[in-house]
Structure 1
C-alpha cells in the first residue's frame, strides 16, 4: 500500500535510479462545466507496481486557470472509504495547493512509499473556485464520488455520498519502477474505453492486458488506457483526434515503450467520405511520430461492425482495404488482428455473437477478454532506441 514512510528511491545522481513509468492513464477531453467548491474522490486502477507515485492534473480544455486547494491520495477500502492511514497529502513543488493555467497540466511531487500493482488508488481533490469547461474523462466505467466543500483529507466515506461515472481533472498516475520497466499506451476509441464492458469490474481489454503483463516476465508492465468514446484518427469531435492528442496522451507519458494503435472505425462509419488512403496516411503520421520518439507501434486491425446503423458496403470496403494495409504494409513493429479475433465465422462482416456487447460494434466482456488474450506480449517491445 501507499505507506507513510521514507522514500525508497535512491538519492539524485545515484546509479540505476528507477525511472518513472505510467501505471494508469485516461485521455482528457471536455466533460461538462466546472463547479466551485467541489470535491472529487476519484477511483483508478493501477497496472504496474512501484514507489513514489505522482499524479498529473489536467486543465487542458479549460478556458481559465483552475486552482486545486488540496489533493490527497490513498488506497480504497470499499466505496468511498479509504484504508486507514493510507490517505496522504500531495504537494506541488512543495506547495499544498496549485493553480494550473488554461491548456496546461501539472505533475505532483513524488509521494514517498510503495504503490502495488492492480490496486484501487483514490485521488481526492478540491477546486475552491473552478468555473468554465471541465477537463476530465467521461466514460470511466468506474464509480467515483463528489461532494461540496473540502473533505479531501478524510478517510471516511461519510461526506462522499454522491456518485459520478466520470473522472475529473486527473489524467495520469506514474510510479518509479525497477530499472527497465516500461508501459504500453492503448490509443483508441470507445472499444478501448470499454463501452460495453461491465462497469466497476475492470473488464476493458486493456485491463485484461494489464493482468496478463503482471503475470509475465517482460519489461513492458504498465498499461495506460488512452481510449475516448467516439474518437477518430483524423478529425476532432469526441475529444481531439488521435493525431492531435498523440503527444499529450502517449509521447509525453513517462516510460511508454509502445503505442497500441486501435482506431479508425469512427472515421469510416461517420459517412464523411474519408477514404482508405486518408486513414492510412493518418496511421503513417502517428507511426512516424512515435518512431521518431523511439516508441514502438503495434497496430490492430479494425473490427467488424455490420449491424450497426452506420454500416454499409462502402464503409466495409474501406475497412477491408485499411485492414489489408495494416496486415501487409510492413510499417508497424507488430500487428494484432482484432478483426480475425472478433469476426463471426458465418458472416465475417459481423462480430461473433458470443463476443457482441449487443449493438454489433462494441464487444462485451467475453470479447474484451478475447482481444487481450490475442495480444502477443513479446510484440509490445522492439529494438527502437528511446529518445
Structure 2
C-alpha cells in the first residue's frame, strides 16, 4: 500500500495585487441612466494585470455597468491610440452591482507604468437613485450621454466633471515584496487648495518620492481623504472609523495606514474632547494592527485664522497632538504640526505654506508635508 506523501511548507507567493490608486467613496446625487463616464486617475506604483474596482456602496438600486474600458490618456479626454481595451467581470462585458456592493474586474493583461494617467471609461446602462463617487477629485474627468466608452477620441466627451463616479480603486500585480500605504484623512489629504489637474496633493508628492526611493518596498499610495471628514461622526462621508474597512483595509497589498484626521472634529464645536478622539484613534490602530498593518499617526496642524478657531478647540488640538507624539501607540509619528506652524505664533500656519484659508496648505505646503514623511517608517512588515 502506497504511503501518502507529505509536502513541505508552501512557497511564499512571488507576486500579488497592490493598490496603485484609490479614492474614498461617498454618496453623490441622482445618477442618470444611459450615461458614460471617463474617469482620469494617476497611478502610483507600476505593475502588470491591472484591475479596477467599481462601487455601488451608497446606491439604493442595482447599477449595471457595460462597455467598461481602460486606456492611457494623451490629453484631455483623448486617449493614446490603441491603448483603450475592454475590461471583463467574470469573463462578461457587463456586470450588475447590488446596492452596497462593489465589483473588481478581471485582470487586464500587460503592464501599467507608475505615474501614468490611466483612463477608465464605462457606460451605465441602468441606474436609479443616488450614485457612489468622490466629490472633490481635484482632477478633470468627463461624461456624456449614450455609450462612448470604447472611443479613443475626445469628440463625444463634451461634459466635464470635477468628481470621480463609481470608480474607487485600481490595483496592479507586483512582486510580493512591494506594498502600499493608504492615507486616511480629510480635505487636507483630499488636496483642497492644491492645483487642480496637477497631482499636487501631499499623497501625490509622497508617491513620487517613493518611486524614486531605494531601500523601501512601499511604492503604492492610495489617497483616502474626504473633504470635511471626521474621526468620530458621519457627515462628509462616513467617519474614519466607519469607513476604515472599505476604504483602507479592503485594499490589496496595503502595508501601512497613515492616519491624519481630527481637525474637523475639533473645530466643529460639538463638544468633542481629547479623550473622545484618543478612544477612536486607539480603535483605528487596533483594527489596523489586527489586520496586520502598521499605523503612522500624524499630528493635527494649526488653524488659527479660520473662522471656527477658538482657545477651547486649540486646547483639544494640543492635547490630541501630545497623545499622538508621546503615547507610543502608533508605529511611527509624522509631526505635521511642528513642520507647518509659525515660530512666531504656533497656533498659526506659516504664511509660505498657507493656501489662504489658514487650514489648507498650498502646493508648497503639500510638498513639504510629503517630504517630512519618514519613508523607512512606511516600510513596515506587520504590526503584530
Give the structure-2-normalised TM-score: 0.96
Determine which of 292, 295, 299 is the counterpart of 1:294: 292
Q: Does 1:138 align with 2:135?
A: yes
Q: Does 1:196 align with 2:188?
A: no
Q: Does 1:207 align with 2:204?
A: yes
Offset from partner CA, 1:145-169 (integer Å, 9 cap, x none): 0000000000000100110000000
Aligned to 1:59: 56
Q: Distance in 2 between matches of 1:187 and 1:340?
A: 20
Q: CA deviation at 1:383?
A: 4.2
Aligned to 2:358: 360
Determine which of 15, 19, 24 is the counterpart of 2:16: 19
1:232-381 superposed matches below 5 A: 232-381=230-379
Offset from partner CA, 1:225-259 (integer Å, 9 cap, x none): 00000000000000000000000011110000000
Q: Does 1:174 align with 2:168?
A: no
- Number of equivalences: 374
- For the 8 Å contact 2:255–2:381, the answer to whether it is kept is no
Aligned to 1:101: 98
Q: Distance in 2 between matches of 1:384 and 1:205?
A: 25
Structure 1 residues 301 and 15: CA distance shift in structure 2, 3 A: closer
Q: CA deviation at 1:368?
A: 0.2
Determine which of 45, 66, 72 is the counterpart of 2:69: 72
Q: Distance in 1 between matches of 2:178 and 2:133?
A: 27
Q: Distance in 1 between matches of 2:128 and 2:308?
A: 37
| Unaligned segments of structure 2, at least 5 residues | 1-9
Offset from partner CA, 1:237-287 (integer Å, 9 cap, x none): 000000000000111100000000000000000100000000010100000
Q: Distance in 1 between matches of 2:192 and 2:137?
A: 9
Determine which of 143, 150, 155 is the counterpart of 1:153: 150
| Unaligned segments of structure 1, at least 5 residues | 1-12
Q: CA deviation at 1:131?
A: 1.4
Give the structure-1-normalised TM-score: 0.95
- For the 8 Å contact 2:255–2:382, the answer to whether it is kept is no
Structure 1 residues 293 and 145: CA distance shift in structure 2, 3 A: same
Q: Distance in 1 between matches of 2:326 and 2:12?
A: 43
Q: Distance in 2 between matches of 1:238 and 1:385?
A: 29
Q: Distance in 2 between matches of 1:15 and 1:178?
A: 11
Coordinate RMSD, CA, aligned: 1.1
Q: Distance in 2 between matches of 1:199 and 1:315?
A: 31
Aligned to 2:116: 119
Structure 2 residue matching 1:140: 3-state secondary structure: coil
Q: CA deviation at 1:17?
A: 3.5
Aligned to 2:7: none
Q: Distance in 2 between matches of 1:356 and 1:280?
A: 27
